[in-house]
Structure 1
Amino acid sequence: MKKSNTILAVLCLFITWSSTAQDKQFTLEEIWGGAFRTNYMDALHSMKDGEHYSVLNYDRVTQSTSVDKYSYTTLSKVSTIVDSKDIDNIPFFRSYTFSNDETKLLLITESVPVYRHSQLGTYYVYDTKTKKATLVSNQKIQEPTFSNDGSKVAYVYNNNIFYKNLETGKEVQVTFDGKKNETINGVTDWVYEEEFAFVRAFEWNKSGTKIAYLRFDEREVPEFSMDVYGNQLYQTQQVFKYPKAGEENSIVTLHMYDVDKAKSTHVSVNNYEYIPRIKWTNDANILSVQKTNRHQNKLELLFVNATDFSIKTVLTDTDEAYVDVTDNLTFLNDNSFIWTSEKDGYNHIYHYSKTGKLLNQVTKGNWEVTNYYGFNEKKGMIYYQSVENGSINRDVYAVNINGKGKKRLSSKTGTNNATFSASFAYYINTFSNSTTPYEFTLNSAKTGKVIKEIKNNQALADKLKEYDYASKEFSTIKINGNDLNMWTIKPKSFDASKKYPVLMYQYSGPGSQQVANRWNSSNDYWYYMLAEQGYIVVCIDGRGTGYKGRDFKKVTQKELGKYEVEDQISAAKELAKRNYVDADRIGIWGWSYGGFMSSNCLLKGNDVFKMAIAVAPVTSWRFYDTIYTERYMTTPQENASGYDDNSPINHVDKLKGSYLLVHGMADDNVHVQNAMRMAEALIQANKQFDYMVYPDKNHGIYGGNTRLHLYTMMTNFIKNNL
């Protein structure tokens, strides 16, 4: 009897544990405290021999970093290339870059962010033969880059270009006119960095005899200033050049520096507004230059001869709306080149001769190429990523350069991304989907077959089994004649006979995508938390978003915020028809472009939406930068109605629901001016709203407990207003 009672007690305990093991609820403290972080392969580099790769590793015990070399065939560590604990004065480094022959590495030990992509840092050159580290400069510098033979490092300091001879230790100054807020040499200005997504604006040629670089004359660009309050008695001020739509841009010019002659030459490139890319071809005397007009609807590829500075236009790509600038331009051994374009209505790969003659359209179909990985010269194979298996998925493919023999290499449905070995014999595949955290596998580039697993996140997957939540459901919804991609998160205890409030999330910017079959972001855990508190969370990619063809993406041209808003409002009305949706409790939120959208939706859809949250929103396109805004809207002088009719600041009189406006005061991207002017417009319209400004926080609004505070506030706002 006593034994039976013991067994019964154990059985009851097991049943109780089983019933509660999956009842844990997500908390904001966990989400923003890093409880659900995933493991990655950091700074993966395929080594030139094609048989090895290197990875940046961090040792939590010694708090040191190392670059370790691994075998593709065994996945075992072969050696440690460099370890910070073995080097004097370098306790830790954040990243590494190899010289071309892989005998030297550039290590960054201290870094200070400038803007989104740029940083200042203390850099060392580590020699793998001598095992010694040499400081590149006593100053914090930008974008150090090896010459092709690894004998020199060029960099930018105080808006001027320098290079250091690593054999003699001699430093040479290349430019002399750099000055803050006036002239920049070798790195980009704010708007180029943000909208053309590159910082280093200089390039060594193949022989290391010349440096091509861009010079930015910012003197006529209007200044923007931000107060930074910090913790001192008086605030400081950050002043920088920021060209708003319709205003003056930097005058950007191309220059060529001859190392032997120690002389720079200005290369005249006529009839352009922007030079978004420069890149040396495989010919040491031929530089490729991409230039575009202010509307960005005509992109030209030029070849510049570095000997006589003659220029030849090799290719011209045009579009009624705009032409995207990419990093896919790749020169083959014969100086023919790979190019990607939307000219047939979808983004595809093209092969051109070195004179610009079209040799072949390599990929074709009503689907988009989303990444170009490279070309195997030996086998004549091109490797790429595309959405052939549905626009929410990504797969890895191989195809002959003549367009034949296409093969899907990835096998799992979701998001696959490849990093190929230098020999193209192997690739490391990164896979995830909405139910599978990141998996890293070694695959055969010939067949796609998995050779070995390298790393997974099974521990995270097991941990999440303790939580009571339902995964995303993917579907489409018919809106305004289009089948729009959609995901839905419902409460685990969803009952179709009940009525639920709905929170819609979107971003909606041109070419973007939020409905994708990939692993969770931090926001997703927040949505799961909200779902378990009784909300349905929905995300819909409307017109203007990406990966469904040129026409679907560019329909919003000259009217940002019109069709995208119509789609979200119509989608909310369609959702309201569903029996389980409480039509009187539909809300919407978004960040940046998404905040612009959520604001517009609450105002223009005031009979549909009960509440909206707008974080760091654009409230008038007149306040945003030239390159991004004019790409889609032309200038305010040309398209005043397009700017004003769709900007929420001009529709505040329509506000009926609850509105939370949030911004960071040190946002160099979407200036807090947007929120201030929106607030003033609401005040003058006598409209009540909730408002939060985060001191000294940029567009990301993070640091310390900031994200926790922000999401606690947003959660409470949703609970109180939806």
Structure 2
Amino acid sequence: MTSRQQQPLPASAPLSFPRQYARTQRFMLGAPRAFTVSPDGSRVVFLRSPSGTERAHRLWVLDLDGEVRERVAADPDALLGGAEEELPAEERARRERSREGSGGIVGYAVDSEAELAAFALSGRLFTAELRAGTARELPAAGPVIDPRPSPDGRFVAYAAKGALRVIGAEGDGDRALAEPENARTTYAVAEFLAAEEMGRTRGFWWGPGSDRLLVARVDEAPVQRWWMADPAHPDREPTPVAYPAAGTANAEVRLYLVGLDGARTEVVWDRERYPYLARVHWSPSGAPLLLVQTRDQRTALHLSADEETGATRTVHVDEDPVWVEPAAGTPAWAPDGRLVRVADEGGARVLSVGDRPLTGAQLHVRAVLDIGDSDVLISASAGEEAELPETGEIHVYRVNELGVERVSEGAGVHSAVRSGAVTVLASARPEVGRTTVQVLREGKQVAVIASYAEQAVLSARVTFTEGGARRIPCAVLLPTGYTESDGALPVLLDPYGGPHGQRVVAAHNPHLTSQWFADQGFAVVVADGRGTPGRSPAWEKAVKDDFTLTLDDQIEALRDLAGRYPLDLGRVAIRGWSYGGYLAALAVLRRPDVFHAGVAGAPVTDWRLYDTHYTERYLGLPGEQPEVYAANSLVTDDGLSGAAEPARPLMIIHGLADDNVVMAHSLRLSSALLAAGRPHELLPLSGVTHMTPQEQVAENLLLLQVDFLKRALGTA
């Protein structure tokens, strides 16, 4: 992938929403992100691109002592001498897993005092002295992946060609600490499942003493090989991809304590029973802490590792008859040595410190943001027993033994980063396009970090409500300027609708595309039914063994909302991507009595082709529950599964370079539809992965979809 400067439109050309949406990367370019607060509270470090259309992010520092001011700590254009950024294959894969489509400095790490930052550009290693504001390249053996300074700032560790390497912060002594034994083994990089499904993007962690590291070793030898080919370039050899599909072998993951002197000690646990290394935490507050899971994810162990011998002891056990849900920021040690964890207990997702739960059914804890001496900072949404509904809202709270205090104010989606007395609070609101970033000291605003993100050429007019007896969270969008005299409108359901994807959020920009579709003449409905996050453990886990419940909830919400909004139930379409693509195809095939057209983007059509950690959590092992896989898949060995008449128009869109939901899903669905005599359109996207970062592709996909939907519903 190459970072390119976007070509300006001619001055006379009108700026359409699809073009603006694509070139601003969903209006994320120019917005500040990835905040770090120095422990002394003197500065905030963050990333931001220079404008709402420039992809190359710079590293910035906001000084808080004396005159409050922003300054650039590292500029990728200057560091690369104006050359285009060239990404090594390992970095492209890492960005694909994190859905990172921008360029420049897209990630960085700092030492314990936030004085030295390390980052990679074009596979090369750079550091920045954050107080002085100077940046330079270190002579590392590349291509460099995920560089991280030691806590004392004397060294930088990084991954390169499957090895863990370390170099002095002055550029001296570059050497390998752990090297791969063969072509299928790597050190210091998160394996596919960890990065794609577990929320663990790292493969190594510095110890607080800066003299050793915890390093993951991944052996992909047991994993089956698939072949990714580019039909648009038949002269190129297919690329082998280690893909652990449901029911097949996973990579073997081990963990080692590695000293700067090269000494190596394995961290030992029952890897046969607990093969998934979900979390690693190492801080001055305690020994290395691991969270490991059984393959069925119904049991998770919190393990403390001895720094000298590598032996582990069980600190806590979480068990759940459905699955254990790890939370971001946990497990961790509090400064007093107590275990901080989030678990599903008593019908709620609660925060506990030591043996004491600090939250209850009023809150649904989403993540632990910071652990202080006297409190824990968390993000949470309203729980099942909350006094007032807060559809789509996520707030920041301070929690301790004395109670719970909300830090964020007003409807919105709020997040925070904190160190000591300084908190960076980011707030996205339903009525405002740009996210507001406040810097607070002891709760008082001392600065605002500016956003250079563009304002959209349209405004999302969202009504948040609930639908059906289950009180399904919904967002409804009507055409700009709609009046009752305009009558009932064709309906477009625009969900994700499945695990890990909340679409009904109390923020403006996530609904811009839905508003654009509404402005093309649709009433757009977004519904978060069972299986989606943010409401309660029971809500998320209701889909165990049965993804078709997510379709039932879309229908329930649709029918209830039709009594309150101008929805023409005789003209109903649905669109979605990834799980939403599966849901769209499922809707058209299983319920043509309700849905009259669908657009399925990158759909999972046969769950036997999707990865182990995700699929087995919900559907079990295909060898043990083949009937569950058949009931939930869109295709089987015998053709279409559960399809009903009449046949409805379906557009299938898929990137040929997608290594997450591989193209085989759509090809198998298309073949089954063809064999059954069902008309459909298949749009293969050459060179496109599970993301669609290319400006022209992203823009034209919107235009093609609305054209198809109008033709299919007879509204063109």
Normalised by the size of structure 1, how large is the TM-score? Answer: 0.85
The one-letter code matched in structure 1 to 2:506 is N
Matches within 5 A, 1:666-705: 666-705=657-696
Change (3 A) 1:59 1:580: closer
Q: Does 1:413 align with 2:411?
A: yes
* SS of alignment partner, residue 557 of structure 1: coil
The one-letter code matched in structure 1 to 2:708 is F
Change (3 A) 1:138 1:307: closer
**Number of the residue aligned with 1:113:** none
**Number of the residue aligned with 2:43:** 52
Change (3 A) 1:572 1:71: same
1:520 is aligned, of 509, 513, 519, to 509
How many pairs are equivalent?
Answer: 662
* SS of alignment partner, residue 348 of structure 2: coil
Aligned counterparts of 1:579 and 1:569: Cα–Cα separation in 2: 15
Offset, 1:693: 0.5
Tell me if structure 2 keeps the 8 A contact 1:342–1:348: yes
Tell me if structure 2 keeps the 8 A contact 1:652–1:681: no
The one-letter code matched in structure 2 to 1:647 is S
1:494 is aligned, of 483, 504, 508, to 483
Aligned counterparts of 2:519 and 2:353: Cα–Cα separation in 1: 52
Structure 1 window deviating more from structure 2 (675-684 vs 571-580): it is: 571-580
Tell me if structure 2 keeps the 8 A contact 1:65–1:85: no
The one-letter code matched in structure 1 to 2:330 is N
* SS of alignment partner, residue 148 of structure 1: coil
Q: Does 1:29 align with 2:16?
A: no
Structure 1 window deviating more from structure 2 (94-103 vs 570-579): it is: 570-579
The one-letter code matched in structure 2 to 1:414 is G
Q: Does 1:175 align with 2:178?
A: yes
Change (3 A) 1:483 1:457: farther
Matches within 5 A, 1:467-506: 471-478=461-468, 481-491=469-479, 492-495=481-484, 498-506=487-495
* SS of alignment partner, residue 337 of structure 2: coil
Q: Does 1:638 align with 2:624?
A: yes
**Number of the residue aligned with 2:313:** 312
Aligned counterparts of 1:90 and 1:301: Cα–Cα separation in 2: 48
**Deviation readout 1:21-80 (Å, 9 max, x if unpaired):** xxx996433433449836422443212211322344555799997644334477721765
2:168 is aligned, of 161, 165, 168, to 165
Q: Does 1:97 align with 2:109?
A: yes
Change (3 A) 1:575 1:268: same
**Number of the residue aligned with 1:203:** 205
Aligned counterparts of 2:143 and 2:674: Cα–Cα separation in 1: 46
The one-letter code matched in structure 1 to 2:466 is T
**Number of the residue aligned with 1:629:** 615
2:225 is aligned, of 223, 226, 231, to 223
Aligned counterparts of 1:433 and 1:87: Cα–Cα separation in 2: 36
Aligned counterparts of 2:567 and 2:277: Cα–Cα separation in 1: 50
Aligned counterparts of 1:131 and 1:639: Cα–Cα separation in 2: 58
Change (3 A) 1:90 1:336: farther
Tell me if structure 2 keeps the 8 A contact 1:300–1:314: yes
Aligned counterparts of 1:25 and 1:222: Cα–Cα separation in 2: 47
* SS of alignment partner, residue 557 of structure 2: helix
Offset, 1:398: 1.8
Offset, 1:553: 1.1
Offset, 1:282: 2.2
Aligned counterparts of 1:490 and 1:718: Cα–Cα separation in 2: 16
1:376 is aligned, of 372, 376, 379, to 372
Aligned counterparts of 2:694 and 2:603: Cα–Cα separation in 1: 20
Tell me if structure 2 keeps the 8 A contact 1:99–1:146: yes
* SS of alignment partner, residue 524 of structure 2: strand
Offset, 1:410: 2.0
CA RMSD of aligned residues (A): 3.0
Tell me if structure 1 keeps the 8 A contact 2:31–2:49: no
The one-letter code matched in structure 2 to 1:325 is P
**Deviation readout 1:583-617 (Å, 9 max, x if unpaired):** 21011111100011111111111111110110000
Tell me if structure 1 keeps the 8 A contact 2:118–2:156: no
Change (3 A) 1:40 1:315: same
* SS of alignment partner, residue 720 of structure 1: helix
* SS of alignment partner, residue 363 of structure 2: coil
Q: Does 1:423 align with 2:405?
A: no
Aligned counterparts of 1:188 and 1:719: Cα–Cα separation in 2: 44
Aligned counterparts of 1:530 and 1:445: Cα–Cα separation in 2: 42
Normalised by the size of structure 2, how large is the TM-score? Answer: 0.86
Matches within 5 A, 1:117-132: 121-127=123-129, 131=134
Change (3 A) 1:705 1:628: same
Offset, 1:178: 4.2
Gaps of 5+ in 1: 1-23, 111-120, 353-357
Change (3 A) 1:188 1:82: closer
Q: Quick one: percent identity of the two aligned structures? A: 22
Matches within 5 A, 1:133-152: 133-152=136-155
**Deviation readout 1:476-523 (Å, 9 max, x if unpaired):** 111xx41111111112223267221101111111243111111213xx
Change (3 A) 1:315 1:391: farther
Tell me if structure 2 keeps the 8 A contact 1:414–1:517: yes
Offset, 1:235: 2.5
Offset, 1:191: 2.2
Structure 1 window deviating more from structure 2 (57-66 vs 24-33): it is: 57-66
**Number of the residue aligned with 1:651:** 642
Aligned counterparts of 2:39 and 2:60: Cα–Cα separation in 1: 15
Q: Does 1:599 align with 2:585?
A: yes
Query: In terms of Rg, which structure is larger?
Result: 1
The one-letter code matched in structure 2 to 1:520 is N
**Number of the residue aligned with 1:107:** 119
Q: Does 1:338 align with 2:340?
A: yes
* SS of alignment partner, residue 414 of structure 2: strand
Change (3 A) 1:637 1:67: closer
**Number of the residue aligned with 2:9:** none
Tell me if structure 2 keeps the 8 A contact 1:216–1:251: yes
Aligned counterparts of 2:453 and 2:283: Cα–Cα separation in 1: 44
1:434 is aligned, of 408, 430, 433, to 430
**Number of the residue aligned with 2:249:** 248
Structure 1 window deviating more from structure 2 (330-339 vs 128-137): it is: 128-137
1:614 is aligned, of 600, 607, 616, to 600
The one-letter code matched in structure 2 to 1:504 is L
Aligned counterparts of 1:407 and 1:533: Cα–Cα separation in 2: 43
**Number of the residue aligned with 2:516:** 529
**Deviation readout 1:279-307 (Å, 9 max, x if unpaired):** 224267x3212111000110101111122
* SS of alignment partner, residue 630 of structure 1: helix
**Number of the residue aligned with 1:569:** 555
Aligned counterparts of 1:173 and 1:417: Cα–Cα separation in 2: 38
Tell me if structure 2 keeps the 8 A contact 1:144–1:153: yes
**Number of the residue aligned with 2:380:** 386
**Number of the residue aligned with 2:566:** 580
Offset, 1:332: 2.5
* SS of alignment partner, residue 644 of structure 1: helix
Offset, 1:701: 2.9
The one-letter code matched in structure 1 to 2:427 is F
Aligned counterparts of 2:310 and 2:15: Cα–Cα separation in 1: 66
